[in-house]
Chains A and B, each alone.
Chain A
Amino acid sequence: MSAAAARPAWRALLRLRRGYSVLLVLAAWETASRAGAVNTFLLPPASEVLVNLWNLATEGRLLFHLAESLLRVAAGLGLAVAAGIPLGLWKARSRLADAVLDPVMAFWFPVPKVGLIPLALLFFGFAHGSKIALVFADALLPLVVATYHGALHTDRRLIWSARAMGDSERRILWRVVLPAALPQIFTGLRLAVTVSLLVVFLAEMVASSSGLGHVMIYALRTLETKDVFSALVTISLIAFLADWLVIQARRRVLVWHA
């Protein structure tokens, strides 16, 4: 009667259940390409791409570029978290901060950062700095907005209880408002992770000598379509893994949350 006995088998099936759509897409891709429905130059068969990916991966170069990209994402995202959460909290708790920051952000965030790449290159260097700066600039938005909304709707009874217990405003911010905002912050983090990946690959496509985006643009320039798709598949896998990690972290951190 209890599901406990059948759990391992069920677990395995559940895992599969969450991946079958990806397998379906791969199958459709393979069929379309093999059947000649699409130009294989534009869309080579999935199987060939996967074999190619395996070769690139075992060769080692791909892993190097992957590590470069991930380093940039980690640094940019880390900075965005470190800056975005305090900014969002501050904006939610101080009317003055809100009034000053709101228009500045509303003007800054729609700026297409790709146009700032030349400037970023000169200011932050051609290696990691420029990409980290761009990731930071774009990942900041979801974090600030999410933290702000989460903190704004904190139950005021919680804040008052803390105040009654003699907590300072700063302590309340970190001990009451931040935990209360965490569910929303995780939503923002999920977005920020995706945005970071997007930005780092884009920045690496425009100007970089390493990273997955660089691998992709090099393959595009030399018309090695299979390499392009190998990079694409890698990016997809990374994105999937990163998202899974955020969801796991969310589950761990938010055990108290419904």
Chain B
Amino acid sequence: MKRIAAVTLVLGLVLAASGRAGAADPPVIRIGWSVPAQTQHYVMMKKPGILKHYGKAYKADWVNFPGSVAIIQAIASKNLDAGGISIVPLARTIEQKAANLKIVADMMSERKGGFQTTWVTLESSGIKTIADLKGKTMGVAGYGSTTDLLARAILRKNGIDPDRDVKRVEVPFPVMESAMRKGDIVAGELAQPFYANAKARGGIRELFTAQEVLPVLPLLVEAFTAEFMAAHPQAVKAFLEDYVTALDFARDPKNRDEVVGIVAEVSKLPRDVLATFLLTPQDYFMSPDAMPDVEAIQKTLDFLKEGGVLKTQLDAKSMVDVSLHPRAKR
């Protein structure tokens, strides 16, 4: 008697743990997100009411990670099915066959018409051109990050060896402006919202952006594992429709106040700081059709190959799968 009860209990627990107790439940998409610049995700998380399919065709388990690399590790260890990921780690993942990821939608890019990560100096620093940086100390937000790779290319293009001619120290984004004003570094990179903040306080001069080496940098994309797409195409299709809905909602000027509030809530940053740039031309560029820019991705891959970051030549077309995208031309 006791044994039967125990076996039943164990079986019950196993079933409950496997999460497939009710066959009628929609599939759960385990999806990784991070801050900043994933506005589409934040809207989906905080306003599921506007989404047509949520809870019916799929459910989402939103998990925050400190960045793309952590999301990729979680995907490789089969703890996630999807995530908003930066293009460089994504390319490295595919190159190493660490996970079979497909780009299914655009999230944000750095290009004219939107904000681009900007290398700045103080107006009083006397630095006018990139060449003036020779022998000086500059701040890098993260060695080996995408923006770092771009900065190195730009420095080299301007006749400065990034390893010899300048001293580059790692400074977290939130400290960059203070370090510069304090004189610990003469120049540094600023992403949003730190750029907006620094600009508001004044005395900042722009030195360069990635424009010079990559006119369009598709920085963040939405990616799914091929396995999940094959197993649950309807769920992914429904998710992408909702994703576009959230994008449209965010881009609609009459919702701006609400979206700023959502981002403030998610990022815990002060609302008034966010309001100065969010969803303006000073914000990162979100493509209205949410379609991945295959050409720009290819150019980025080529650039990475040239710079030695990628060892193999990757093909953007094979990395992108828009077969379930609601705005794909068929």
Contacts and interface: CB of A to CB of B under 8 A. Distances in A.
Answer yes or no: do A and B interact: yes
A127 B99 CA distance: 37
Contacts, number: 71
Contacts of B140: 209
A41 B169 contact: no
B92 interface: yes
Interface string A205-243: 011110000100111111101000000000000000000
Interface string B80-115: 000000000100110011110000000000000000
Interface stretch (A76-84, A117-125, A174-182): A117-125
Nearest to B93: A223
A118 B179 CA distance: 10
Interface of A: 39, 41-42, 117-118, 121-122, 125-127, 206-209, 214, 217-223, 225
Interface of B: 69, 72-73, 76-77, 89, 92-93, 96-99, 140, 142-145, 168-172, 174-175, 178-179, 182, 184-185, 309
B179 A222 contact: no
A125 to B, nearest CB: 7
B206 to A, nearest CB: 23
Contact of A222 (B99, B185, B309): B309
9 contacts: A39-B76, A41-B93, A42-B73, A121-B171, A208-B170, A209-B170, A221-B142, A222-B144, A223-B92
Contacts of A218: 143-144
Nearest to B141: A207
Contacts of B185: 126
B89 A207 contact: no
A127 B179 CA distance: 13
Contacts of A208: 170
B77 A126 contact: no
A206 B173 CA distance: 11
Given A41-B96, A218-B144, A223 B171 contact: no
A222 B92 contact: yes
B143 A217 contact: yes
A123 to B, nearest CB: 10
Contacts of B96: 41, 223, 225
Q: Which residue, of B142, B175, B185, B309, has the highest number of chain A Cβ atoms within 10 A? A: B175
A113 to B, nearest CB: 15
A236 to B, nearest CB: 20
Contacts of A225: 96
A115 to B, nearest CB: 12
B145 A126 contact: no
Nearest to B185: A126
B178 A207 contact: no
Nearest to B140: A209
Q: Which residue, of B72, B77, B143, has the highest number of chain A Cβ atoms within 10 A? A: B143
B54 to A, nearest CB: 31
Contacts of A117: 172
B100 to A, nearest CB: 12
B77 A39 contact: yes
Contacts of B171: 121, 126, 207
